[in-house]
Structure 1
Amino acid sequence: MIRQSKKWHISFLFWSSLLLIFWIHYWFIQPMRGETADVTQSVQQAQQYYQQGQFLQAISLLENLLATSEGIEQATIQCYLAASYRESGQLNKAIKNWKAALEIYRNQNCQSLQPQLIAVLVDLGQTHNALGQFRQAIPLLEEAIKLAENNQELKTQAIAWDILGTSHTLSGDYDKAIKVYETSLKLFEQLNHPDLMTITLNNLSNTFSQRQLKYLAEAQAAQLEEDETQAEHFTSLAQQDRQMALATATQAEETSRNQNSLSAVRARLQLMKLNPNLDYRASVSSILEQLPNSRRKVYELINLAGLMKESEAIKILEKGIGIAHQLGDLRTASFALGALGRVYEQKKQYDLALKFTHQAQLAAGQISAPDSQYRWQWQAGRIYRATGRREEAKVAYRQAIASLQSIRGDIAVANQNLQLDFRDEVEPVYRQLLEILLDGGTSSEIELAIQIFEGLQLSELQNFFGDDCVEIIDAIKQPQVILAKTNTVVIHSIILKNQSYLILQLSNGTNKSYPINISQSQLQKKILKWRNELEDISSYRYIDLSKELYKLLIQPIENELELVQPNNLVFVNDGLFRNVPIGALYDGQKFLLEKYPLSVSLGLNFITQTQSSGQWRSLTFGLTVAVPPFDSLPNVAQETHEVQTILGGSRYLNNDFTFNNLQKQIRKKNYSVVHLATHGRFGGNAESAFLQAFDRQISLAELENLLDSSQKPIELLTLSACQTAAGNDRATLGLAGVAVRSGVKSTLGTLWFVNDQATVELITDFYRYLEQGMSKTEALRKAQLSQIATPGSHPSIWASFVLVGNWL
């Protein structure tokens, strides 16, 4: 069998099992009102074309009719057109026509037109789902359900509920999706409609499978953090979901046993995926052979090909390509051609692989489908790279990234809880191009690598927050000028599969790359172990790894740094490097931060202009009492007192630290510093991050909105008692990203929880140095140096604090 990657299953999922057949022919069985004889004849001809799968001919005829129609007649033709465009794979045009019809039906405000209005809402929502645009789909489907309930249309309700379940599945809200699918299933059972029951059971099984993967990812993260209780908890949940997925898939297969339908095909393929001991390939092939040609049939042929030996897969895909061309469906043809190119790529028959990959690109390009196009540009890049055609590979990868950027809003919101799509289908495109550019790269290629890496950082940030809204307020327009003016060196750490790199971006505009001579897996293990040892205040085991990692990371660039003597080092870190304090690297005599002021950044494109006039004023909130499940923070009283004494401003503790009061104070007055001394946690996604107020937890989205509500951008946000998940390489994206998104210039945060008298001293020193006119990064360094000089000092106290954002 050919190797069928996870991405193929996800990509074709909604095509093969989520679209409901009930609506496919809806519009072509609806009578038109008040049409002329000529119009009736033309519509009947279009109907014949549609039923014969000649969608382009139907579209041509209907476009001519549309020009001379108006009112309800025009709305109905718009719907005919939308259905034809959808069946030919032109989904954006289908959406445009359905929106036009929807506007007409809404304006009519006629009860007798309610069935048509509901149908448009469902079809429109369904098509948005097919493009991954679940946010647009959800309100349309919820409106359709409400109208269908009012009109007592039980079947329509059930269908709309099912498609709404798809929307929630695409959003990564699997809990809600499962509840919605179960509602749909109950209605279909009442209707005794086994074919539609099968579709919903297929969808339900798939959602259990996806939630299982989410739980497994969370279990793995807990294991990395040595949290066995949480690891066992999520492993148990994953096992339960696997059992539910298998049971539901079995029920779907049993329900569809006497059906010759695409839902029966999907049921068997889903069950085979869950139970490899079963083999339904022969029955699937037989059913597909009997079914009329359609784009859904082509997608199931693609799925079937993924389970076959290469020679059989090629024949199946060639058949699918023929059907897609016969239908005039370029979108579906692009997927079938691309899948065939992938088979030949795996066979290392690169000439044929490139031939079909280029044909897939052409088909996707003809209908402006970047979500399909980027896959084949990426595939072409891999083939060029495998055949040693480096320059052509670079061009193909850059084209793929450009296509990805054009659809990044949809990527950002897709499955952000699990980030399967991003991990499997987006991130590798960037990283594979970085591998090419940095393997003996020229100076111009190194400069391009920096741009690509920062593009990856942006995509990760968008995916973490689940949207594409990362507007940088007052961004530095010429960062290289700032580097030169402040004598700052930027160090990019890039972790790649075969060879990781450091890129030195000097203040004079020179860029140099240095390979890190260790495998990715070994490097990540050492980073995670070092982080755990740094946190252990009872031990000095961290010293060995501090030395080893210094030798590995800093020693190769040490001569360059000594030559330049930078005033600041700014690290733009990748992966688990984000979760460790680089300043704690140790050369045997000094820590790195004893040599240079350090800060971290998501990239120079994320740096904003500082507007500080040296007049600091703080808004300080803190918790000293225990708020279950968190213990008390007795040192917060002194910490917050010192902050207010040094900077002035307002201070609120305990029962005055409520969400509403924090919101009120930020909105009411201009504060240059917001200091929050409370428990907080930043995990692998935005939903798991929070700060603890006295009355409740404040989510990351709420914190962002609070900070954004300030009359002027906040100069510094300090979070003095937070913790980031050590084993998750995205945990600090929340810490850095919330500041970027809300316009905060810099964030001082902690990588792990620490709150004792030494913390109070460090915070006090930092603000005192800041008040004296030092830059933020120099103020932090001086405060940390004071702690290092203290007898018995340990990096578990001082190394936890990191400055993110503008270092000035």
Structure 2
Amino acid sequence: MKQWLVFPRQKVGLVCVGKPVRCSGQESCSNWRAISRTQILLHSFLLFTFLLSPIAAGAVDITQQLHRSLNSSVGRQSRDEADSLLSIGEQQYASGYADKTIASCLRALELYHSIDDLKAEGLTYNLLAKAYVQLGSLKEVEDSLRRGLAIARDTQDFQAQIFVLNNIGTFFLQQGESAAASKTVEDALAIAHGVKNIEGEGLSLSNLGLVAARLGDYNKAIKLYENALIFRRQTGDAIAEANTLNNLGDAYLASGNYQDTIATYGTAMQIAKTNRDRTNELRAIDGLVKAHSAVGRYERTFDLLEQPLTLAKELQNLREELKSFESYAQLYKQQGNYLTARNFYERAIILARTLEDSKQEVQLLDQLTKMLQLK
């Protein structure tokens, strides 16, 4: 997603309305017009918790990515406050509180703007986009991505361009704009290849695999993921490797190859667990649950389901806890145990209300209602 997040499938319009903040001018705006699409509506569900990847994709604290050399004490104070806000925003996002993340980011943006730190602004726009995705505010997602790309072009930051273009490609893909997504990610791949950015090549190839998978060409997707793994392993980035392995597992699962599905997800889970990469660990477990359930291995499925619920409680991540309750409900429903399934649906609905996620609440209520009609 991934460093890709799967967005709801609607059409999207990335239109440059006026001159973007920090935009270098006509070149940036014309590029946005060239990829404009129709107005968007949302019916939201997120397959992955891993929203748009940071510009620097390593597993480091976000404040370590920012410059810290300022002469004035006022500037240093502003930077420290902004860095703290951005770090808090990351924690709020990881816990599922997108609205609080946005508030922290907007304040951080004001401070970074006051000290003229473009790189930090770009990182902040990236986190803002992730939070807006979680809320389903697609107009704001579009604006944050557009501004982030304008900053990357204005500063001649090729690495930032690679990653922001990949994020934009993600946005197009999940709105059902596969052709635009492919073109955007191919542009990112061309830049990565031109500047010999191995990390960017691996990410772009992995995301092109997602485009192929969305189009139903799983054989092509598998080849792209395998090629991406070569680059991702060269960087030594275990998180990136686990992410692409999860993508590969998805392709095997969609094509009905359960043996390779289980092996691939299993590898991703072990790598993620070793590196305390909870996002990819949870995603791999989710894939394993689906694969074992598909072949009727229910005992193993229930064993696996205990792990994400334990992790979600450990991380105090209510959104992941909600997903676990929903998975339990669906599994019990599949076995015909409607009473227990109803219990888990109701627990998931309570969490959706706590998160003030009305769309998720409606979807869960609909699933519960349909199940009760089967009794």
Residue 117 of structure 1: how far off its partner (Å): 2.1
Residue 162 of structure 1: how far off its partner (Å): 1.2
1:190 aligns with 2:234: yes
Residue 85 of structure 1: how far off its partner (Å): 5.7
Is the CA contact 1:337–1:359 (under 8 Å) kept in the aligned structure 2?
no
User: For the residues of structure 1 that align with 2:88 and 2:235, how far apart are their CA atoms?
Assistant: 32
- Equivalent residue for 2:243? 199
AA in 1 matched with 2:163 = A
Residue 375 of structure 1: how far off its partner (Å): 2.8
User: For the residues of structure 1 that align with 2:308 and 2:159, how far apart are their CA atoms?
Assistant: 40
- Give the SS at the match of 2:219: helix
Task: Give per-residue Cα distances to partners, 1:366-409, cap 9 Å, x unaligned.
Answer: 456x5x4553142132255357xxxxxxxxxxxxxxxxxxxxxx
Residue 114 of structure 1: how far off its partner (Å): 1.9
User: For the residues of structure 1 that align with 2:290 and 2:362, how far apart are their CA atoms?
Assistant: 27
2:106 to 63, 86, 89: 63
- Equivalent residue for 2:366? 378
- 314 and 45 in structure 1: CA distance in 2 versus 1, 3 angstrom threshold: same
- 24 and 102 in structure 1: CA distance in 2 versus 1, 3 angstrom threshold: farther
Task: Give per-residue Cα distances to partners, 1:482-508, cap 9 Å, x unaligned.
Answer: xxxxxxxxxxxxxxxxxxxxxxxxxxx
2:254 to 197, 204, 210: 210
1:100 aligns with 2:147: yes
- Equivalent residue for 1:37? 76
1:125 aligns with 2:160: no
Residue 119 of structure 1: how far off its partner (Å): 2.4
- Equivalent residue for 1:356? 347
- 135 and 335 in structure 1: CA distance in 2 versus 1, 3 angstrom threshold: farther
- Give the SS at the match of 2:301: coil
Is the CA contact 1:253–1:267 (under 8 Å) kept in the aligned structure 2?
yes
User: For the residues of structure 2 that align with 1:250 and 1:316, how far apart are their CA atoms?
Assistant: 14
How high is the TM-score relative to the length of structure 2? Answer: 0.61
Task: Give per-residue Cα distances to partners, 1:758-791, cap 9 Å, x unaligned.
Answer: xxxxxxxxxxxxxxxxxxxxxxxxxxxxxxxxxx
- 242 and 356 in structure 1: CA distance in 2 versus 1, 3 angstrom threshold: closer
1:145 to 176, 189, 200: 189
- 208 and 374 in structure 1: CA distance in 2 versus 1, 3 angstrom threshold: same
User: For the residues of structure 2 that align with 1:76 and 1:315, how far apart are their CA atoms?
Assistant: 36
Structure 1 unmatched ranges of 5 or more = 1-10, 213-240, 277-303, 388-808
- Give the SS at the match of 1:307: helix
1:90 to 135, 139, 142: 135
Aligned residue pair count = 312
Residue 211 of structure 1: how far off its partner (Å): 2.3
- 126 and 33 in structure 1: CA distance in 2 versus 1, 3 angstrom threshold: farther
> Within 5 A, what are the aligned runs for 1:297-696?
307-308=301-302, 317=309, 320=312, 326=316, 332=320, 335-336=323-324, 338-339=326-327, 342=330, 346-348=337-339, 352=343, 355-356=346-347, 358-359=349-350, 362=353, 366-367=356-357, 370=359, 372=360, 375-383=363-371, 385=373
Rg: which structure is higher? 1
1:49 to 61, 70, 88: 88
Task: Give per-residue Cα distances to partners, 1:78-124, cap 9 Å, x unaligned.
Answer: 53144256268336444541222223434x2x43x222222222334
Is the CA contact 2:249–2:264 (under 8 Å) kept in the aligned structure 1?
yes
Is the CA contact 1:165–1:181 (under 8 Å) kept in the aligned structure 2?
yes
- Give the SS at the match of 1:15: coil
AA in 2 matched with 1:149 = H
AA in 2 matched with 1:307 = T
- Equivalent residue for 1:15? 48
Larger helix proportion of the pair: 2
Structure 2 unmatched ranges of 5 or more = 1-43
Higher relative contact order (CA 8 A, sep 6+): 2
User: For the residues of structure 2 that align with 1:43 and 1:380, how far apart are their CA atoms?
Assistant: 44
User: For the residues of structure 2 that align with 1:275 and 1:340, how far apart are their CA atoms?
Assistant: 14
- Equivalent residue for 1:632? none
- Give the SS at the match of 2:339: coil
Is the CA contact 1:208–1:244 (under 8 Å) kept in the aligned structure 2?
yes
- 374 and 163 in structure 1: CA distance in 2 versus 1, 3 angstrom threshold: farther
Residue 207 of structure 1: how far off its partner (Å): 0.9
- Give the SS at the match of 1:179: helix
AA in 2 matched with 1:29 = Q
Is the CA contact 2:89–2:104 (under 8 Å) kept in the aligned structure 1?
no
- 258 and 306 in structure 1: CA distance in 2 versus 1, 3 angstrom threshold: closer
User: For the residues of structure 2 that align with 1:114 and 1:191, how far apart are their CA atoms?
Assistant: 18
Residue 261 of structure 1: how far off its partner (Å): 3.6
> Within 5 A, what are the aligned runs for 1:104-119?
104-106=151-153, 108=154, 110-111=155-156, 113-119=157-163
Residue 136 of structure 1: how far off its partner (Å): 5.1
User: For the residues of structure 2 that align with 1:64 and 1:255, how far apart are their CA atoms?
Assistant: 36
User: For the residues of structure 1 that align with 2:120 and 2:165, how far apart are their CA atoms?
Assistant: 14
User: For the residues of structure 2 that align with 1:270 and 1:351, how far apart are their CA atoms?
Assistant: 23
Larger strand proportion of the pair: 1
- Equivalent residue for 2:33? none
AA in 1 matched with 2:103 = S
Is the CA contact 1:122–1:140 (under 8 Å) kept in the aligned structure 2?
yes
- 205 and 146 in structure 1: CA distance in 2 versus 1, 3 angstrom threshold: same
User: For the residues of structure 1 that align with 2:212 and 2:351, how far apart are their CA atoms?
Assistant: 30
- Equivalent residue for 1:617? none
- 123 and 307 in structure 1: CA distance in 2 versus 1, 3 angstrom threshold: same
